Structure 1
């Protein structure tokens, strides 16, 4: 038996964000056991906390979907950090944790009860070619002219980020799940009118075992979008993105550029604690 937590991420209200399952003390589990448990939880991600191999790190994290292991993902990073702290983890530096994962070292800072991770470097960026734009337009069931821009935004997941004119247009999307082809991770965003609670609306469509599903709230996608929008002055240095609206969630992602880094933050709620027979 080993400790287990389930954390709701990017929300201050349990059942309104994106849950992640966290297994503590997983250093003696095999990759096969981890993958099997992730399939069993049937959540978008399940994580496993292990001792770090890098002396600069506070802990090591392995991240699994129901079908694959990811080098990095955003909401599992924040949820796992919260679970590690709740179980008595003490970071080497006050109010700053360092996570070791497949993408390298990821800094996580504490700002009161809110956690934020430093957006990892993009592995691939830049505009997508017109042929990709055409595929995305068909898959999203929009006119090609409705896509204002689209860019590679790979930071672990192989995101393609798509910009539409408005949050209303994003929320109106009814994608064709059979038409995404070779693009397994597609994120779409558009601005809300000024003065509201959120500045942008975001939706994420991901391939799990050949089936496209919508992810409730997605840290890695929001990190990649911020790395596009803030340097391009399309978004201010600090803004809030809403995600999960179409899934009856109330995800809120807090973005801030500080000291040359982009931080992706959100509230976290530990909803389930106990032990798992692994």
Structure 2
């Protein structure tokens, strides 16, 4: 059996940047083991398998696999899959196509608005299916710093301190004082295991206010060797958790706040994630993740 697939670069408006994604269509008959094997073969941060929806009003069911395991939710697979399905299926009107793509995921139903424009990269945005919440306790700063190959004084800035947040996936969020220090962060052998592998987290998200671009609010990196991702070029699901930290630590007033998060620069895969927070009544009311994507290749895979 031959299944059609597409690859896209997500959270970028040009090819060969952003976070690469493989999307396999017509995957209803594949077993879990087959999907995991194919994801390992693509060897990207995530591979999506598109299946028939369980409800007529929904666009598709999608399952998300890293090279090592299935995960319930991820940002760049959601953006990339929605844009691909919109490009393949949405009718055009005066060279413009807007679509609402409703995706069934393990975390729940995710509704994605896609904007397609002739001659430009498609853009999509979705409301996070879960709001971020604190989850778990991290070791002391000296242990965390050693796990990242940094010194303790390089961890933390202003009133930002390491914390665990979950919004479908659980991440350790580690603020770093400077762009220079974040560039040196790495998975530091046995020190990493002591700092992060006993916490039940999906990955470690390091962030700083110092950025490559003046339009960006945060420069970030994400390491997730536990699930087969040495480093991720763009991590939308972790950006949802960052929204909780920004609301809490920066003491945002009620209203809508937009932040650009840059990632992937150390990997040569520059990415921009549009993070929108809505605060009401002193609480975080909603989080939206947005970004562009471009198709790169297509083909068939025999299973």
TM-score above 0.5, yes or no: yes
Alpha carbons 2:135, 2:166 under 8 Å: kept: no
Alpha carbons 2:28, 2:52 under 8 Å: kept: yes
Q: TM-score, normalised by structure 1?
A: 0.88
Larger CA Rg, structure 1 vs 2: 2
Q: Distance in 2 between matches of 1:34 and 1:71?
A: 14
Structure 2 residue 214 is matched with structure 1 residue 206: no
Q: Distance in 1 between matches of 2:192 and 2:294?
A: 33
Q: Deviations over 1:7-64 (max 9, x none)?
A: 1001111011111110111111111111111111111111101112245532111000
Change (3 A) 1:103 1:212: closer
Q: Deviations over 1:130-170 (max 9, x none)?
A: x2544322101223343221121223332111112233332
Q: Distance in 2 between matches of 1:96 and 1:104?
A: 16
SS at match of 1:230: helix
Alignment-derived partner of residue 242 in structure 2: 225
Structure 2 residue 124 is matched with structure 1 residue 115: yes
Counterparts in 2 of 1:187-266, with a 5 A limit? 187-192=205-210, 196-208=214-226, 213-233=230-250, 237-258=257-278, 260-266=285-291
Alpha carbons 2:203, 2:226 under 8 Å: kept: no
Q: Distance in 2 between matches of 1:241 and 1:104?
A: 25
Change (3 A) 1:195 1:10: closer
Q: Distance in 1 between matches of 2:124 and 2:152?
A: 38
SS at match of 1:95: strand
Alignment-derived partner of residue 270 in structure 1: 295
Counterparts in 2 of 1:132-171, with a 5 A limit? 133-148=141-156, 149-171=161-183
Q: Distance in 1 between matches of 2:34 and 2:211?
A: 47
Q: Distance in 2 between matches of 1:256 and 1:194?
A: 20
Alpha carbons 1:2, 1:275 under 8 Å: kept: yes
Q: Distance in 1 between matches of 2:237 and 2:211?
A: 24
SS at match of 1:28: coil
Q: Distance in 2 between matches of 1:268 and 1:111?
A: 11
Change (3 A) 1:273 1:194: closer
Change (3 A) 1:192 1:87: same
Alpha carbons 1:63, 1:73 under 8 Å: kept: yes
Change (3 A) 1:2 1:240: same
In terms of mean alpha carbon deviation, does 190-199 or 72-81 score higher? 190-199
Q: TM-score, normalised by structure 2?
A: 0.81
Structure 2 residue 109 is matched with structure 1 residue 105: yes
Q: How many residues align?
A: 273
Alignment-derived partner of residue 60 in structure 2: 59
Q: Deviations over 1:88-130 (max 9, x none)?
A: 168xxx633221111111221224531112223257515734x
Unmatched 5+ residue regions in structure 2? 92-97, 117-121, 280-284
Q: Say what the alpha-carbon RMSD is for the aligned residues.
A: 2.6
Q: Tell me the CA shift for residue 257 of structure 1.
A: 2.5
Unmatched 5+ residue regions in structure 1? none
Structure 2 residue 104 is matched with structure 1 residue 70: no
Q: Distance in 1 between matches of 2:203 and 2:212?
A: 29
Alpha carbons 1:177, 1:212 under 8 Å: kept: no
